[in-house]
Amino acid sequence: MNKHMSQNTKGMIQLFILRFFAYAILIFLCILCLFFFYLMVVNSTRSNAQLARGFSLLPKEHFLENLVNAWNDASINIPRGMLNSLIIALSTAVLTTYFSALTAYGIHVYDFKFKKLAFTFIMAVMMIPAQVSALGFVQMMNKLHLNNSFIPLIIPGIAAPVVFFYMKQYMESVLPLEIIDAARVDGSNEFHTFNTIVLPILKPAIAVQMIFSFVSSWNNYFIPALLLDKAELKTVPIMIAQLRSADYSKFDMGKVYMFILLSILPVMITYIILSKSIIRGVTAGSVKG
């Protein structure tokens, strides 16, 4: 009995130590991830003079002042930049996910000649980095007089092989072809079936891909910087880059931090709204439900 007890306590202690280390590592990683966000928030509450003095962990009282200054800055139109970025990122997210799902549906559901070839081709496109084709793309857009327009930033996003691949894999796990057959027999035409039956089933996958494409479009600097040079069309990443290249001695650092805080706000909001779906989407298909 006594021996049994001691074995039991020994096991408990082992478990405790194991958990202690596991939690310690997780907490450390958490801090590592969140510390810089915290620092940014703290810095956005400090004035330029306070920032110049050095590093601080405690927030100060200049938050509103920085906000008003940043929002009303004459040289960089923050509200306009955010609006531009929002228009581009939202439309890209919606179009990318819809059309990728549609393409994946086509490949998943229909049998046609060269289906495999089509699939391989789409996968091959995935391997080409944006930088390689960028030069030709920018030249083409200039020839089409589409520079200084949002169209080249939104429309090409429709062809997104990665999103397509994700959707295809997701469909394989959740979309039995019988459901489509059932809809056909019920009298639904193909597009109607896709919009009313397939899209709702794909909701978790769509949520995940929407966030990813929204964030990557929101953060995209490379192509917009090559195409947009009119001040009123500039997006947030371009503006941040401009800030960084501005003269530090004249610039209000509090304002800069405030701007950066504002720029990541939409991303955080989308994440918070859709995070449940992300978790569901990432784990979906692992367990048949």
Partner 1 sequence: MAEVKLVNIKKVYPHSEEKKKSKKKDAPQKKTNLQITAEGVVAVQEFNLDIANKEFIVLVGPSGCGKSTTLRMVAGLEEISGGELYIDGELMNAVAPKDRDIAMVFQNYALYPHMSVYDNMAFSLKLKHLPKAEIDQKVREAAEILDITEYLNRKPKALSGGQRQRVAIGRAIVRAPKVMLMDEPLSNLDAKLRNEMRAEIIKLRERIDTTFIYVTHDQTEAMTLGDRIVVMKDGYIQQIGTPQEVFNHPANLFVAGFIGMPVMNFFDAELIREGDRFFVEPDGHRVELSEEKAARLKANGVQSQAVTLGVRPDHTDLTEEGISCKVDVTELMGASAHLHANVDGRDMILIVSTQDTKKIPMRGDEIHFSFDGDVAHVFSKEDEHNLEW
The residues that touch partner 1, with contacts defined as CB under 8 A, are: 176, 178-179, 181-189, 192, 197, 200-201, 203, 289
Q: Name the minimum Å distance from CB 185 to partner 1.
A: 5
Interatomic CA distance for residues 214 and 204, integer angstroms: 15
Q: How far is the CB of 176 from partner 1 (least distance, A)?
A: 6
Cβ atoms of 227 and 207 within 8 Å: the answer is no
State the CB neighbour count (10 A cutoff) for residue 213. 23
HSE-CB for 47 with a 13 A CA cutoff: 5
Q: Which is nearer to partner 1, 89 or 208 (CB)?
A: 208
Q: How far is the CB of 191 from partner 1 (least distance, A)?
A: 13
Is residue 12 packed enough to be buried (19+ CB in 10 Å), middle (13-18) or exposed (0-12)?
exposed
How far is Cα of residue 264 from the mean position of the Cα atoms in its chain?
11
Q: Cα separation of 103 and 202, whole Å?
A: 13
Taking the complex as a whole, the smallest distance from the CB of residue 161 to partner 1 amounts, in Å, to 23
**DSSP three-state, residue 283:** helix
Burial (CB < 10 A; 0-12, 13-18, 19+), residue 4, is exposed
Tell me the closest approach of the beta carbon of residue 194 to partner 1, in angstroms.
13
Residue number with CB closer to partner 1 (19 or 115): 115
Return the number of the residue (79 or 176) whose C-beta is nearest partner 1.
Answer: 176
CB of 125 to partner 1, least distance (A): 22
Please check whether residue 274 is in contact with residue 207, taking contact to mean a CB–CB distance below 8 angstroms: yes
Residue with smaller CB distance to partner 1, 129 or 200: 200
d(CA 89, CA 265): 14
Helix and strand tally (H, E) in the chain?
Answer: 15, 0
Q: How far is the CB of 282 from partner 1 (least distance, A)?
A: 19
Complex with partner 1: residue 136 or 289, whichever CB lies closer: 289
Q: Toward partner 1, which CB reaches closer, 136 or 200? A: 200
Q: Are 68 and 54 in contact (CB under 8 A)?
A: no
CA distance 204 to 225: 32
Closer residue to partner 1, CB minimum distance, 178 or 247: 178
